[in-house]
Amino acid sequence: MDNKSNPWRKDFPILDQKVNDEDLVYLDNAATTQKPQAVIDAISDFYSNDNANVHRGVHTLAERSTEEFEAAREKIQKFINAESSEEIIYTKGTTDSLNIVARSYGQSNIEAGDEIVISYLEHHSNLVPWQQLAIQKHATLKYIDLTDDGFVDLKDAKKQITDKTKIVSIAHVSNVMGVENPVKEIAKIAHQHGAIMVVDGAQSVPHMPVDVQDLDCDFLAFSGHKMLGPTGIGVLYGKKDLLNAMPPVDFGGEMINFVHLQDTSWTDLPWKFEAGTPNIAGAIVLGKAIDYLNEIGMDKIQSYESELVDYVLPKILAIPDVTVYGPSDPKKHTSVISFNLNGLHPHDLATGLDMEGVAVRAGHHCAQPLMTYLGLSATARASFYLYNTKEDADKLVDAIIATKEFFKDGTI
């Protein structure tokens, strides 16, 4: 599919521009996605027509704002098939969501000698909160090995998760290795040992159908800006009984029931975890982004991205001196493709691609322990989304070859 025949590309105005005199090819979607015009318009529409604080007013604007804010929560509930909208907590993003679990559930349930189990491929957001919790509580942080293809190794998971394990937290889809991990199976192992299962869904929820009841995860974290929504808004899903038992971590504003001079009582879920004025516009507009995704269908998005990977991965693998990390089989690879060009630093590679109008990410991707595990300092990373095309894929391949030749003989 070329740019003109992609039915969604026209909805994204930012893509219609030139970078370094070349048509923009945006392949940094794992970092953040672009926004369709409907989402951009929704931000302006809210502030132009409905802006008011939620829950606290009886005037018309406050009632409209509150209604939209809570309607978006119900959209999110249905989008991930949560049992109740009370299980949907608005946060700043995946990082904030994971920190809430660590600061609330973790602080209340982890004791000296307990185990927390993660894997070597985790993003820092799903590593540092558990690392710091383990340090504070004198617990043990354990790591599950990876398979040769870069998946979390189920066999090793069965070894690492024991009756001492209290928390298991795994990325559903890696932001580096391009793999979908068996989190449903890992959740079963965790539950067999009495541990809870936390899933980092930052790279899965935007790209595939995610059903929290089917996964049987206890918590799921994801971000709005990686799924066509605004920055600064995210979601923490948690099973209702767990959330009810957890203490709040931030205080003031809407999470209050009644304040006495010497103590305070908390309001009900989900507002117990939403202190202060929330990102009202962000939540409402995330609901609009979900409308857009639902109109296409998450199955269709996943299938379309798979077609792109089937097309482009063999082409990248065929370029001499290029190393791709993760599965070489396109059927096993998600739309995140990390690679290096032998003899060239990833930052130089990304700069060369940018000169060709191709935007990719380069660095450690907030996964330094994974880089150490792989014996690398950094990689380049191209990540595709629904508005990318085979034409974009061809431009990426051509740009890699052109960059290779430029650094080889100084001409382009």
CA–CA gap between residue 157 and residue 222 (Å, rounded): 23
Residue 215 lies in a domain: yes
Q: What is the DSSP letter of 363?
A: E
At 121 the three-state DSSP class reads coil
Tens digit of each residue's pLDDT (9 = 90 or more) over 73-125? 999 999 999 999 999 999 999 999 999 999 999 999 999 999 999 999 999 99
Which CATH number covers residue 402? Answer: 3.90.1150.10
Q: Among all residues, which ones are annotated catalytic?
A: 366
Tens digit of each residue's pLDDT (9 = 90 or more) over 6-53? 999 999 999 999 999 999 999 999 999 999 999 999 999 999 999 999
Q: What is the DSSP letter of 35?
A: -
Angle between helices 346-355 and 390-409 (to 10 degrees): 120
**Do 166 and 115 share a domain, yes or no?**
yes
CA–CA gap between residue 299 and residue 281 (Å, rounded): 28
**Do 66 and 209 share a domain, yes or no?**
yes
**Do 283 and 272 share a domain, yes or no?**
yes
Residue 320 burial (CB count, 10 A): 8
**Do 179 and 136 share a domain, yes or no?**
yes
Token readout for 349 is 């590679």
Tens digit of each residue's pLDDT (9 = 90 or more) over 305-349? 999 999 999 999 999 999 999 999 999 999 999 999 999 999 999
**Do 75 and 168 share a domain, yes or no?**
yes
Domain membership of residue 318 as a residue range: 9-31+298-409
* Percent of the chain predicted with pLDDT > 70: 99
The residue among 242, 271, 295 that closes a domain is 295
Residue 36 lies in a domain: no
**Do 51 and 81 share a domain, yes or no?**
yes
**Do 288 and 309 share a domain, yes or no?**
no
- Average pLDDT on 242-268 reads 92
Domain count, the chain: 2
**Do 212 and 350 share a domain, yes or no?**
no
Q: What is the DSSP letter of 125?
A: G
- Average pLDDT on 124-137 reads 98
The whole-model pTM stands at 0.96
User: 300 - beta bridge partners?
Assistant: none
Residue 1 lies in a domain: no
**Do 398 and 332 share a domain, yes or no?**
yes
**Do 303 and 171 share a domain, yes or no?**
no
Which CATH number covers residue 251? Answer: 3.40.640.10
The residue among 264, 295, 326 that closes a domain is 295
* Percent of the chain predicted with pLDDT > 90: 93
**Do 157 and 202 share a domain, yes or no?**
yes
Q: What is the DSSP letter of 231?
A: T
**Do 341 and 403 share a domain, yes or no?**
yes
In the structure, what pLDDT confidence band is assigned to residue 253 with cuts at 50, 70 and 90? confident
At 349 the three-state DSSP class reads helix
